[in-house]
Amino acid sequence: MEHRTNPYDEGDIIPTPMSGEHREREEPLASTSRSRATQSARDAAARRAANARAGSGTKQGSARQRRPQRRNPNDRPELSVQNTIRRRRKIGIGVIVGSIVTAILLLTALLFWINRPVPITVNGQQAEVRIGSTLREVLHETDVSVEPGNYVTVSGNVIQANQGRAFNAVVNGNRLTPEQIEDLRIQGTEAIEFSDGDDIIEEFNASSESIEPYLRMEGSGYSLQYVSQWARMGERQYRTGKVSGETAEVITVEPRDCIITCRDLYLEPGDDGVKYVALTFDDGPSDVNTPQYLDILDRYGVKATFYNLGENTQAFPELARDVIARGHQLCNHTMAHNQLTAVDSQTIYNEITTSADVIAQTTGVQTTHIRPPYGDFTERSWLASGGSITAAVRWTGDSQDWRYTGLNDTETVQTIVDNSLLNIHSGSIILMHDGGGGGAQDIAALPKLIERLQADGYTFVTISDLMRQAGDIPEEVCSGTSTMPQDAVWPKEIHPDDIAAAAASST
C-alpha cells in the first residue's frame, strides 16, 4: 500500500466550510496549504520514479522498490559495529571450545593407543600386557616364578645369595643378553621364555693361554675320508678373585677338534631308478694309455676321475690338460707314489703339496682331493698333511688290472671286469690305472665294464658329483678345490682316544 504524506503539518488548521464572508479572509492560508500538498505530491512522484528506475524488472521487485524503507533504529553505525563484535566473539568462543573438545578426544585416543593391550606368549601360556612393557613388567604381571642367581666367587662359592641376574629370557628363540633384556619393549606376538637368573662372578684378575685342538677320526668306512669339521683354537683363563682371593682355572672358549669322517657311500637310486658309480684311474698320465682311455670314455659318454702323479704331469702336461678339456676331474696322487705310511711327516707333506702345485701350474686346477698310494692313509698321515687336503679317496671295487699287465686274453679281460663289479652298488668307486700297471688289458676290459654297468642302470659320475649325491657332505669338500678356512687351525696332535684305539687295534 502506497504511503502518502499528510499535506498538513502539525499545527495547521484544517479548513471547514466557511461562509461567504470568511472565504476571502482565509484565501492566503488555503493557497499556502495547497502549495505544500502539491510539493509533497511531487516529491512522492519523484521517489516513485527513482524506485522504478532502480527496480529489478519484476512486479514484486518493483513493488518492493517503490515502498519507502522503514528505518531500523538499530541501523546506526555504532550499533552495527558492536553487533559485529558480539557475533565474532561468539564464533571465536565456539571455535575454541570445539578445538579443546577435539584435542581432548585425540589425546584420549592417543593415550589408549600407546597403552593398548597386546597378545604375547609367556612360558607357553597366552597373555595380554600393555604395549611397550619391559620384560620385568611382563614377569610381574604374568606371575611367572623364577629364581635370581647368586653373587659368587671365581670358584662358584656363594658370596651373597640372590644377588645375581634376576632372570634370563629367550624371546622368539633368541637368548637375550642382560643389556638386551633391559632394552626390550613389548610390541605384541612375542614368544617369551623366562628362566632362573645367572650367577654374577666377583671381579677378578686373569691370565690366559690357548688350548690346542686335536685331530679325530670318526666312522668305519674305507673308501672315503674327508674333513667334516675344521679345528678352532680354545682359550683357558687362570682367575684370582678380588673379593675372595680364590683362584680358578676356567675354559672360556672351548677348542673345536678337526674331525675326519670315514665312510662308504651307499646311495639310494633316484626316482627314475638311476644308480651312480665313479670310475677312477691312477698313476697317469701315460702317453700310451691315457689317450686311448679318453677316446673310449668319449665314445660311451662317460665322465671319470684321474688321479695323476706330479712327476707324470710334468712329463706329459698336454695330456693332463686334455683330461680337463674333455670334462673329467683331475686330482692328486702325490708326487712320486711314495707309500705315505712309510715315510716321515715332512715327506708326506711334500709329496702332497708339491704334486698339487705341479697340477695347478700345469692345468690351472687347484685340487685338494688325493688318492693315497696303495690306499694307505692314517691319522698320522692326515696330521702330516697340514690342512692341505679336504678328502682322501680310496675305492670299493679294485679291478686289480695291475696284476695283468700285458695280458688281454678273454679270460683276463673278464677277470678285470668281474673284479670291478664285486659288491657293486650305487655309490661304488672303481679303481683302474692309466699309468703304472694299466695297459692293453684295460683297453680291452674298459668297454665291457661300461656296457655292463650302463645296462644295469648306472650313470658314471666324477668323484665330486658322487659325493654331492650323498647330500650331507659339505660342498667345499665335494668340490675338491676349497682350502682350509682362514679362521681355522690345523691340529698338532691326534686325540688321545684315537691313539689308544690305534694301539689296541695293532696288538
pLDDT number for residue 94: 77
In the predicted model, is pLDDT for residue 416 greater than 90? yes
pLDDT in tens, 54-66: 554 444 444 444 4
pLDDT number for residue 102: 82
pTM above 0.75, yes or no: no
pLDDT in tens, 101-123: 888 877 777 766 777 999 999 99
The answer to whether the beta carbons of residues 135 and 185 sit under 8 Å apart is no
User: How do strand 391-393 and strand 234-241 relate by DSSP bridges?
Assistant: unpaired
pLDDT number for residue 22: 45
Which range (2-16, 266-280, 387-401) has the least confidence?
A: 2-16
pLDDT number for residue 5: 44
Which amino acid is it at 497? D
pLDDT in tens, 193-249: 999 999 999 999 999 999 999 999 999 999 999 999 999 999 999 999 999 999 999
- The strand pairing partners of 127, in sequence order, are 120
pLDDT number for residue 98: 80
Which of 107-111, 301-305, 410-414 is the most confident on average? 301-305
Q: Among candidates 197, 196, 193, which has minimal Cα distance to 127?
A: 193
In the predicted model, is pLDDT for residue 19 greater than 90? no
pLDDT in tens, 435-444: 987 788 899 9
pLDDT number for residue 79: 66
Residue 312: phi, psi to the nearest 5?
A: -75, -30
pLDDT number for residue 249: 96
pLDDT number for residue 58: 46
| Residue 465: pLDDT band with limits 50, 70, 90 | very high
pLDDT number for residue 91: 82
In the predicted model, is pLDDT for residue 160 greater than 90? yes
CA–CA distance from 429 to each of 8, 221, 366, 461 (Å)? 144, 13, 22, 10
Domains in the chain, CATH or no CATH each = 118-201 (3.10.20.30), 275-506 (3.20.20.370)
pLDDT number for residue 311: 98
Distance CA 422, CA 329 (A): 24
pLDDT number for residue 106: 77
pLDDT number for residue 86: 77
3-state SS class at 134: coil
pLDDT in tens, 401-411: 999 887 889 99
pLDDT number for residue 17: 47
In the predicted model, is pLDDT for residue 285 greater than 90? yes
Find the distance separating the first CA and the last CA of the chain, reported in whole Å. 145
Q: What is the CA radius of gyration of the chain?
A: 55
In the predicted model, is pLDDT for residue 498 greater than 80? yes
Average pLDDT over residues 280-308: 97
Mean pLDDT of the chain: 87
Packing angle between helix 345-363 and helix 317-325, nearest 10 degrees? 70
380 vs 32, higher pLDDT:
380
pLDDT number for residue 243: 97
3-state SS class at 126: strand
Which range (1-5, 36-40, 175-179, 399-403) has the least confidence?
A: 1-5
User: How do strand 214-219 and strand 258-263 relate by DSSP bridges?
Assistant: parallel
CA–CA distance from 276 to each of 265, 336, 459, 470 (Å)? 10, 31, 5, 11
Rounded (to 5) percent helix, strand, coil in the chain: 40, 20, 35
CA–CA distance from 488 to each of 192, 213, 225, 412 (Å)? 36, 10, 19, 49
Average pLDDT over residues 291-310: 98
Packing angle between helix 440-455 and helix 410-420, nearest 10 degrees? 50
Which amino acid is it at 312? N
Q: Which residues are catalytic?
A: 282, 433
Which helix (H) or strand (E) element contains residue 195?
Answer: strand 191-196
